[in-house]
Amino acid sequence: MGVSKRSYAILLVLLLLSLAVATVALCRRGLLVPHQAQAPAATIPSIVHFVFALAPQSVPFSFVHYVAVLSAHLINRPAVILLHYHFPIYGPWFERLQEDVPQLHHMWTELPTVVGNKALKKTAHRADVVRLQALLEFGGTYLDIDTICVRPFGTLLEATTTVLAREGRALCNAVMLAPVNAEFLRIWRDAYAAAFNPEGWNEASVQLPARLAVRHPDSVTVLPESTFFLPSWTEVHKIFVDVTPQIPTELVTLHLWESCSQAHMRNIEGWGWAEENPHTLYGLLLKNVLRYLRPKGNTTNPF
C-alpha cells in the first residue's frame, strides 16, 4: 500500500473510532438501539443536543422552544436528540413534544458548581459548561433552545473540526458542531477556568473561543455570521416585526436571542402567529417548518 493510501486508511479508522466512542456511550445509556448503531459513519455524529431547565421552571415550556426542537427533528433528522436538564419541565407544548419527536431523550444532569476554583453563580454560565461537556462526550450538534432550524446542516456534518460561526468579533456558542472529543473543544475546556469571570457574561464562552481560533486555526471551522446569527441581538425587530420578503439564502439555523426578544417571544403561542404575521422573518420560518410537516400535496394545516 502506498503512502497516500495508508494515510487515507488511517484517517478512515480514526473517523470510525470517533463515531464508535459516541455510539458506545449512547448505547450504554440506552439511547441507541442496534439498528441505529449500524448506521453509516459520519464525521460529526447524528446527535442534536439542547440544554434547558438548569434553574427551577416558573412558566410552562413555550411554543417557541417546542419549535426549536421540532425543527431540528424535521429538518435535520438526527438519530437522537438529547435534552439535558436538571429541574422538571412542564406544559402542554412539552407534552406535545414527546409525541411529535420520538427520538427525543431526556438526559438529567448534575448542576456544575465550579470552573476550576471559580464558582458558577449564573444559570447561563452553567449552561455554557453543560453544552461543552456534552459535545466533548458525545459529539454532534448543539443548539440553543431559542433557535429554529431552516435548512439541513448537510455538508457541515462532514467537518473533521469543531464548527462555529462568528458573532461580531466573537464566536458564539449558541450553535456548535463537533466530532467526539474534538481537539478545539479540549483546548477550549483547558483554557476555560483562566478566562472565566463569575461576575461577567461571555468572557469564556464567546470571547475565548475567538482568541483560540486564531491560535489553532486547523482545529476549527469558522462560518460567517449570516449562517446562524443574523439578524443579531441588537436587531430582533428584524426577526419578529419588520417586513422580510424572503428567508435569506445563507441562513441554516437562526438564533432568536431570547434574552433580548422575550417581549416578542412570549406573545407567540401557536402556529397561528405565522398566519397573523406572515410578513416577518419568524413567520416565514414557522411556515418553512410546517412544510416539512405536511405530506406532499397536502396544503391543510395539520394543527
Residues 230-245 have pLDDT tens digits of 999 999 999 999 999 9
Q: Is 88 exposed, middle or buried (0-12, 13-18, 19+ CB in 10 A)?
A: exposed
Task: Report the pLDDT value the prediction gives residue 113, as an integer from 0 to 100.
Answer: 96
User: Using CA atoms in the order 271, 275, 277, 280, what is the torsion angle rounded to 10 degrees?
Assistant: 80
Contact 168, 232 (CB under 8 A): yes
d(CA 141, CA 252): 13
Task: Report the pLDDT value the prediction gives residue 122, as an integer from 0 to 100.
Answer: 96
Distance of CA 191 to the CA centre of its chain: 22
Contact 180, 22 (CB under 8 A): yes
Q: State yes or no: pLDDT of 201 exceeds 80.
A: yes
Q: State yes or no: pLDDT of 175 exceeds 90.
A: yes
Percent of the chain with pLDDT over 70: 83
Task: Report the pLDDT value the prediction gives residue 231, as an integer from 0 to 100.
Answer: 98
Task: Report the pLDDT value the prediction gives residue 1, as an integer from 0 to 100.
Answer: 34
d(CA 132, CA 92): 30
Q: What is the pLDDT of residues 51-104, one digit of tens each?
A: 999 999 999 999 999 999 999 999 999 999 999 999 999 999 999 999 999 999
Task: Report the pLDDT value the prediction gives residue 293, as an integer from 0 to 100.
Answer: 82
Please give the residue that has the higher pLDDT: either 31 or 233. 233
Q: How many helices (H) and strands (E) does the chain have?
A: 11, 11
Percent of the chain with pLDDT over 90: 82
- Cis before 231? omega within 30: yes
Q: Is 58 exposed, middle or buried (0-12, 13-18, 19+ CB in 10 A)?
A: exposed
Q: Which residues pair with 80 in a beta bridge?
A: 47
Instruction: Give this prediction's pTM.
Output: 0.85
Task: For 259-284, give one letter per residue: b (16+ CB within 10 A) or e.
Answer: eebeebbeebeebebbeebeebbbbb
Task: Report the pLDDT value the prediction gives residue 24, as an integer from 0 to 100.
Answer: 42
Task: Report the pLDDT value the prediction gives residue 169, as an integer from 0 to 100.
Answer: 93
Q: What is the DSSP string of 53-78?
A: -SS---SPPPHHHHHHHHHHHHHH--
Domains and CATH numbers, the chain: 3-225 (3.90.550)
Q: Return the SS3 of 105.
A: strand
Contact 256, 229 (CB under 8 A): no
Q: Return the SS3 of 189.
A: helix
d(CA 237, CA 142): 25
Question: Kind of pairing, strands 220-223 and 170-178?
Answer: unpaired
